[in-house]
Amino acid sequence: MSDRQLRVVVLVGSLRRESVNRRLAELAVAHAPEQIDVQVAEDLHLLPFYNEDDDLDGLRDGRVDALRAQVGEADALLVVTPEYNGGSPAVLRNAIDWLSRPYGNGALAGLPVGVIGAALGRYAGTWAREDVRKAAGIAGAQVLAEVELGLATSGLEEGWAGEPELVDQVTAAVRRLVDEVAVDA
């Protein structure tokens, strides 16, 4: 890996300030390996729903352009998703829709993407993670199946975010993404 600092942008599918998924993203930021800048893309809920007419006519909201620029300048993308009704949250899918355009040349094109998350139930959000992987892959991202972490929220106890094993798993997800960048560099 070179001496330049690599940038990983994180998309969080949960809007709740104290959500488990938000806290997983914050763990990624707080425990980022040296030489890696991890930043959370904020305010996904303020993006308008994707409308190709608005996009092609240049009537995009400035937040869309800002998100496209932030992800376009990133070396990798980490998506942290809850599971809503057996799939990924609409706010996350909408962000992916905006990032996928222009088709074939969007901010996701060729970008290494890893997906982790937390949800109720014994499958810990597997369907949502698969849903995001599928959407990102169709959008042109290089989806890394090896970046895998599904946290079942039903058994979490006080202080769960400080558990060394969990911190190691989140850090490993970021490292795996960066290793992919280093291979491609």
pTM, full prediction: 0.93
Average pLDDT over residues 131-138: 97
pLDDT in tens, 5-18: 899 999 999 999 88
- 87 near 51, Cβ under 8 Å? no
Please give the pLDDT value at position 185: 55
Distances (CA, A) of 127 to 37, 39, 65, 71, 119: 29, 25, 29, 24, 10
pLDDT of 124 above 50: yes
How far apart CA 111 and CA 109 sit, in angstroms, is 6
pLDDT band at 152 (very low <50, low <70, confident <90, very high): confident
